[in-house]
Amino acid sequence: MPTRDPKERARDFFEVTTGYTMEMALNEAARCLDCKNSPCVSGCPVGVHIPDFIRELKKGDAESAYRVISLSSSLPAVCGRVCPQESQCESKCVRGIKNEPVAIGRLERFVADYHNENCTEAPVLPEKNGHKVAVVGSGPSGLTCAGDLARKGYEVTVFEALHEAGGVLIYGIPEFRLPKAIVKKEVETLKALGVKIEKNTVVGRTITVDELFEEGYEAIFLGSGAGLPRFMGIPGEQLKGVFSANEYLTRTNLMKAYKQDSATPMIRGGKVAVVGGGNVAMDAARTALRLGAEEVYIVYRRSMDELPARKEEVEHAIEEGVKFYLLQNPVEILGYQNPDDRRDPQNGWVKGMKVIRMELGEPDEKGRRRPVEIPGSEYELEVDTVIMSIGTSPNPLLKQTTPGLETTRHGCIVVKEEDCSTSKQGVYAGGDAVTGAATVILAMGAGKSAAKAMDEYITNK
Amino acid sequence: MYRIVRKKRLNPTVTMMDIEAPAVARKAQAGQFIILRVNEEGERIPLTVAGFDRDEGTVKIIFQVVGATTMLLDRKEEGEYITDFVGPLGVPTHTEGMKKVCVVGGGVGCAIALPVAQKLSAQGCEVHSIVGFREKDLVILQEEFEACSAKLTLMTDDGSCGRKGLVTEPLKEALEAGEDYDCIIAIGPLVMMKFVVATAKPFGTKIVVSMNPVMIDGTGMCGGCRLTVGGVTKFACVDGPDFDGYLVDFDEAISRSAQYREMETAAREKTCNLFKKEGAN
């Protein structure tokens, strides 16, 4: 897919990829073999009828293709951009055996964007069935669950803690990868279906799960995500200039620090180290570049082969100038302290990071080779901002305030895999709140299964 | 949108507002905080709950005009609206079973200390309040403190009202005189709380401090409000804002609180100039 020049895009927040033209989309669609057993569909967590939508597109009817996708997905313009298609639908494509698989994700994005730009028709409102359901959290799992239930005729209310709907799509994933206007549009589509969104409501504090039942909600979906950032527990982590990736990205995305006239203070420029190798680490590193950093390093304890981020994101980061310091791990963050002046404003700010080199040892329980420190290999990396991107845990608030809700020792909500039901009757859960940090599409898949189970639960009550 | 039901200026730089937010008012307790945004482009700022009226559905906030956002908020009048108001957040102040407590408030921190003193007093606890201000013109909530305190000591730095000196002096005297407080609750500037803790330490009296660091979401998401408490990283928004005063690393908290100072000063000046220009037109 066409992307903008890395030199130009690495300094602004406009979208990196520019999308297909109709002609490009038709050419790519023509490559689909329309296999009888549609293996691609089995690779999609929400089961989009892929060959069906491509068939409509081949006819030149993008709007009809959109209707096919929206039968299964509430967020097509989002999925077309952030799904790891290479390990899902596209990995099953027969074309991919000898050649490049059909670019399903890019076609999905084209179809969704076409619809958003050209369609002015109001959606057909489903007939109400008289039942009330609540969804906690407006991220990918919550929005999917809400959309599916609204289409079945439920009166759906989504409760969101922040001042904007979208969850990680708004606060986490940067503008240059997923423009916020697109997320807003998808949310508007759900609102048009009758979904109500109550912002500024922290379930567990403003209102509890039990109180939602008292207010007449018959079933509740918990999609509160995994927002609690982890830190390494090494010395110096509380110095000024050390951030969690969540804080760094939230300031930039939700609070719009990327705009020059933003009210949100943000540390710009300098030398930035991002610790971690996931998609969030790539997002933070590329955001740092765009905020004006001179140098940005990814410091990751394993090698390129184990890097958990999507290949495309890593390639984009390298093209844009992010440097990869692999098989290395920080042991201490070093701060500046003027010995002669306690009031020196530089005191307490990051001035470097002590890093140790690693090698790969025996495989761990997951089969990934465990990184082992090489004794005596420490060195000092000069940086003035450190961004910790080593993972997040589920938010503990619902666990603390919902009696009868079982969680694992890591704080993940325990559910039955087949129907997303929790230990509490009428309460369902999905997304990162259950799995720990994972992908948008897996969360959407869970939201979808939960919606189906909630419908059955209420129907059979 | 959330309506400003009442607005009152308590002193030249401190303003009180009652905000219509029934869902927050229904649940709010002393020691908890809210987060607000004044307008669509605004930053999120945390303010501790200074009171609430569950029947009226309002939450009281008291704030000092220190930065760009509080300046914008201060320009809003009764009947106008602010964009966002979310809460109550954080863990309420623990008051159960306390029979005699010393509440120490400094400056605008007194606004947060008041509902705690009132709650304690209402449950039959003997409250000794020590409140400190820079000077006479900055004194707030004196009558309210008198109403809920068995003993009130008012301090000013320059002696223009009440006793001259710092809040640590009467506290030290009381402890030396053998006052057996179940707890000291200190709310105010970081430096004040640090010294209140140092004053109480030789006596070993239990001490709780209320921390109010920089934060964004207030629900445990950003980690910007992290503190070291007893050698462990804690998030003020979900683990606090109240912590055991003896365990808080104040020097670190003081250093961290200056992280955005330069930018905050610049933003304040910019807003200030903007208002001046508007005023001139």
Which pLDDT tens digit goes with each residue over A24-65?
999 999 999 999 999 999 999 889 999 999 999 999 999 999
Q: Do B219 and A263 touch (CB under 8 A)?
A: no
Q: Does residue A450 form part of some domain?
A: yes
Exposure pattern of A240-260 as b/e (b: 16+ CB <10 Å)? bbbbbbbbbbbbbbbbbbbee
Last residue of some domain: A390, A420, A442?
A: A390
A280 with A249: CB under 8 angstroms?
Answer: yes
Q: Do A161 and B86 touch (CB under 8 A)?
A: yes
Which of A201, A247, A256, A400 to mutate against chain B (most B CBs within 10 Å)?
A247
pLDDT at A122 over 80: no
| A97-156 residues touching B, CB cutoff 8 A | none
Per-residue model confidence as pLDDT tens digits over B90-124: 999 999 999 999 999 999 999 989 999 999 999 99
Residues A295 and A203 placed together within one structural domain of the fold? no
Q: Is B75 left (phi over 0), alpha (psi -120 to 50) or beta?
A: alpha
Average pLDDT, chain A: 93
pLDDT band at B280; cut points 50, 70, 90: low
Residues A378 and A249 placed together within one structural domain of the fold? yes
pLDDT band at A291; cut points 50, 70, 90: very high
Residues A446 and A367 placed together within one structural domain of the fold? no
Q: Does residue B72 form part of some domain?
A: yes
Report yes or no: B71 at the A interface, CB cutoff 8 Å: no
Q: Does residue A431 form part of some domain?
A: yes
Report yes or no: B42 at the A interface, CB cutoff 8 Å: yes
Report yes or no: A42 at the B interface, CB cutoff 8 Å: no
Residues A259 and A217 placed together within one structural domain of the fold? no
Q: Does residue A33 form part of some domain?
A: yes
Pick from B83, B84, B223: CB nearest A247: B223
Residues A299 and A402 placed together within one structural domain of the fold? no
Average pLDDT, chain B: 92
Listed in order, strand segments (DSSP E) in A285-349 are 295-300, 323-326, 328-335
pLDDT at A368: 81
Q: Does residue B116 form part of some domain?
A: yes
Report yes or no: A244 at the B interface, CB cutoff 8 Å: yes
B-chain CB neighbours of A199 within 8 Å are: 84
Q: How far is A362 from chain B (nearest CA, A)?
A: 31
Per-residue model confidence as pLDDT tens digits over A308-356: 998 889 999 999 999 999 999 999 999 999 999 888 888 899 999 999 9
B140 with B111: CB under 8 angstroms?
Answer: yes
Report yes or no: A234 at the B interface, CB cutoff 8 Å: no
More confident residue, A335 or A364: A335
Residues A449 and A383 placed together within one structural domain of the fold? no
Q: Do B220 and A238 touch (CB under 8 A)?
A: no
SS (H, E, C) chain B: CEEEEEEEEEECCEEEEEEECHHHHHHCCCCCEEEEECCCCCCCEEEECCEEECCCCEEEEEEECCCHHHHHHHCCCCCCEECEEEEEECCCCCCCCCCEEEEEEEHHHHHHHHHHHHHHHHCCCEEEEEEEECCHHHCCCHHHHHHHCCEEEEEECCCCCCEECCCHHHHHHHHHCCCCCCEEEEECCHHHHHHHHHHHHHHCCCEEEECCCCCCCCCCCCCCCEEEECCEEEEHHHHCCEEECCCECHHHHHHHHCCCHHHHHHHHHHHHHHHHHHHHC
Q: Does residue B272 form part of some domain?
A: no
Q: Do B27 and A247 touch (CB under 8 A)?
A: no
Residues A341 and A428 placed together within one structural domain of the fold? no
Residues B35 and B116 placed together within one structural domain of the fold? no
Per-residue model confidence as pLDDT tens digits over B206-231: 999 999 888 888 888 899 999 999 99
Residues B150 and B188 placed together within one structural domain of the fold? yes
Residue listed under structure tokens 């030398």: A271
Residues B57 and B165 placed together within one structural domain of the fold? no
**Number of domain units in chain B:** 2
Residues of chain A with pLDDT > 70, as a percent, come to: 100
pLDDT at A223: 96
Residues B124 and B42 placed together within one structural domain of the fold? no
Residues B126 and B221 placed together within one structural domain of the fold? yes
Q: How far is A68 from chain B (nearest CA, A)?
A: 36
Q: Which of B66-70, B198-202, B236-240 has maximum average pLDDT? A: B198-202
Q: How far is B94 from chain A (nearest CA, A)?
A: 16
Q: Do A162 and B43 touch (CB under 8 A)?
A: no
Pick from B44, B223, B258: CB nearest A229: B223
Residues B106 and B85 placed together within one structural domain of the fold? no
Residues A220 and A253 placed together within one structural domain of the fold? no
Q: Does residue A125 form part of some domain?
A: no
CATH of the domain at A109: 1.10.1060.10
A350 with A236: CB under 8 angstroms?
Answer: yes
Per-residue model confidence as pLDDT tens digits over A154-196: 999 999 999 999 999 999 999 999 999 999 999 999 999 999 9
Q: How far is B189 from chain A (nearest CA, A)?
A: 18
Total Cβ atoms within 10 A of residue A305: 9
Q: Does residue A108 form part of some domain?
A: yes
Pick from B85, B87, B255: CB nearest A348: B255
Residues B131 and B47 placed together within one structural domain of the fold? no
Residues B54 and B179 placed together within one structural domain of the fold? no
pTM over 0.80: yes
Residues B115 and B250 placed together within one structural domain of the fold? yes
| Helix/strand/coil for A133 | strand
CATH of the domain at A253: 3.50.50.60
Q: Does residue A127 form part of some domain?
A: no
Residues B65 and B124 placed together within one structural domain of the fold? no
Q: Do B27 and A201 touch (CB under 8 A)?
A: no
| A200-229 residues touching B, CB cutoff 8 A | 200-202, 205-207, 227-229
A248 with A287: CB under 8 angstroms?
Answer: yes
Last residue of some domain: A355, A374, A390?
A: A390
CA closest to B217 among chain A residues: A162
Q: Does residue A441 form part of some domain?
A: yes
Per-residue model confidence as pLDDT tens digits over B9-25: 998 889 999 999 999 99
Residues A165 and A109 placed together within one structural domain of the fold? no
CATH of the domain at B199: 3.40.50.80
Query: Which residues lie across from A228 on neighbouring strands?
Result: A393
Last residue of some domain: B89, B111, B135?
A: B89
Residues A402 and A379 placed together within one structural domain of the fold? no
CATH of the domain at B73: 2.40.30.10
Pick from B233, B252, B260: CB nearest A265: B260
Q: Does residue B16 form part of some domain?
A: yes
A-chain CB neighbours of B233 within 8 Å are: 231, 233, 237-238
Residues A96 and A188 placed together within one structural domain of the fold? no
Q: How far is B149 from chain A (nearest CA, A)?
A: 30
Per-residue model confidence as pLDDT tens digits over A209-229: 999 999 999 999 999 999 889
Q: Does residue B185 form part of some domain?
A: yes
Q: Does residue B138 form part of some domain?
A: yes
Which of B49, B221, B260 to mutate against chain A (most A CBs within 10 Å)?
B221
A397 with A205: CB under 8 angstroms?
Answer: yes
Residues B226 and B132 placed together within one structural domain of the fold? yes
**Number of domain units in chain A:** 3
Question: What is the mean predicted confidence (pLDDT) over A88-111?
Answer: 93
Q: Does residue B267 form part of some domain?
A: no
Q: Does residue A278 form part of some domain?
A: yes
Q: Do A250 and B264 touch (CB under 8 A)?
A: no
Question: What is the mean predicted confidence (pLDDT) over A79-94?
Answer: 91
A-chain CB neighbours of B240 within 8 Å are: none
Report yes or no: B271 at the A interface, CB cutoff 8 Å: no
Q: How far is B256 from chain A (nearest CA, A)?
A: 6
Last residue of some domain: A67, A94, A118?
A: A118
CA closest to A202 among chain B residues: B87
Pick from B84, B89, B262: CB nearest A205: B89
User: By residue range, what is the domain housing residue A55?
Assistant: 6-118
User: By residue range, what is the domain housing residue B65?
Assistant: 2-89
pLDDT at B281 over 60: no
CA closest to B26 among chain A residues: A206
pLDDT at B278 over 90: no
Report yes or no: A346 at the B interface, CB cutoff 8 Å: no
Q: How far is B125 from chain A (nearest CA, A)?
A: 27
How many whole angstroms separate alpha carbon A38 and alpha carbon A55?
Answer: 12
How many whole angstroms separate alpha carbon B8 and alpha carbon A183?
Answer: 40
Q: Does residue B59 form part of some domain?
A: yes
Residues A174 and A277 placed together within one structural domain of the fold? no
Residue listed under structure tokens 């959309």: A147
Residues B107 and B200 placed together within one structural domain of the fold? yes
Report yes or no: B88 at the A interface, CB cutoff 8 Å: yes
